[in-house]
Structure 1
Amino acid sequence: MKKKILVVDDELSICLLLENFLSENYDVTTIRDGFEASLWLEDNIPDLIISDIQMPQMDGYEFLTKLRKRGFTKHTPVIMLSGKSESKERIKCYRLGAQDYLTKPFNPEELDELVKKNLYPTLSH
């Protein structure tokens, strides 16, 4: 059975790119904002979440904070995506509980390695 990945990003192009890139090996669900993703998570538990930071309604920081307060998703690995490369952004994500941070535009090979690292932490690549 394929591992489930939830992608949360308000940019349709990023959602399509990630879905296209990841769907061969994973069961991918894309949702366009943090609020809708929070509702989806009430009935679904993904193995990994990839979330943008800058989104309307509920940004990635708020989404990550809510995620970490919920019992079922408290330990779900999260990779944050952002157009900002400043270390203060990364540090904030790590402090809120993200496992990784990837700057847009991202290298698909790097994304693939981060996904594998978070889904299969005991395997060495």
Structure 2
Amino acid sequence: MKKKILVLDDEVSICLLLENFLSKNYEVISLNNGLDALLWLDNNIPDLIISDIQMETMDGYEFLTNLRQRGFTKHTPCIMLSGKSESKERIKCYKLGAQDYLTKPFNPEELEELVKKNLFPIHYAIDW
């Protein structure tokens, strides 16, 4: 069974890009705002979440805060995407419980490595 990844971004083009890139190896579900994602999470548990920060209805910070307050998703790995590269933005995400932070435009190879690291943390390294 393929691992399930929830992609959350209000830019349809980013969702399509991530779906296209990730769907070869993973089941990908795309949603366009934090409220829809929280409703979806009421009945589903993904193996990984990739979320934009700057969104209209509910920003990524608020989504991440809600995600960590829920029992079933408290420990679900989350990679945050942002157009902001400032260290303070990364630190804020880490303090809210994000595992990783990737700046847009992102390198697909780096995204692939972050996804593998978060989905398979023990078996991630090729050489020990």
Match of 1:64 in 2: 64
Task: Tell me how many residue pairs correspond in the alignment.
Answer: 125
Match of 2:106 in 1: 106
- How far residue 22 of structure 1 moved from its aligned partner, in angstroms, is 0.1
Structure 1 CA distance for aligned equivalents of residues 69 and 21 of structure 2: 30
Structure 1 CA distance for aligned equivalents of residues 57 and 6 of structure 2: 18
1:44-123 alignment runs, 5 A limit? 44-123=44-123
Structure 1 CA distance for aligned equivalents of residues 35 and 61 of structure 2: 12
Structure 2 CA distance for aligned equivalents of residues 39 and 55 of structure 1: 16
| TM-score, with length taken from structure 1 | 0.99
Structure 2 CA distance for aligned equivalents of residues 33 and 57 of structure 1: 6
Structure 1 CA distance for aligned equivalents of residues 63 and 119 of structure 2: 20
Q: Letter of the 1:6 partner, please give it.
A: L
Gaps of 5+ in 1: none
- How far residue 57 of structure 1 moved from its aligned partner, in angstroms, is 1.0
Structure 1 CA distance for aligned equivalents of residues 52 and 35 of structure 2: 13
- How far residue 11 of structure 1 moved from its aligned partner, in angstroms, is 0.3
Q: Letter of the 1:116 partner, please give it.
A: K
Structure 2 CA distance for aligned equivalents of residues 56 and 36 of structure 1: 12
**Runs of at least 4 residues off by over 6 Å:** none
Structure 2 CA distance for aligned equivalents of residues 13 and 102 of structure 1: 17
Gaps of 5+ in 2: none
SS of 1:98's equivalent?
Answer: coil
Match of 2:16 in 1: 16
Structure 2 CA distance for aligned equivalents of residues 84 and 11 of structure 1: 16
Q: Write the deviation string for residues 28-79 of structure 1: whole angstroms up to 9, x where unpaired.
A: 0000000100000000000000000000110000000000000000000000
| TM-score, with length taken from structure 2 | 0.97
Matched, 1:32 2:69: no
Q: Letter of the 1:64 partner, please give it.
A: L
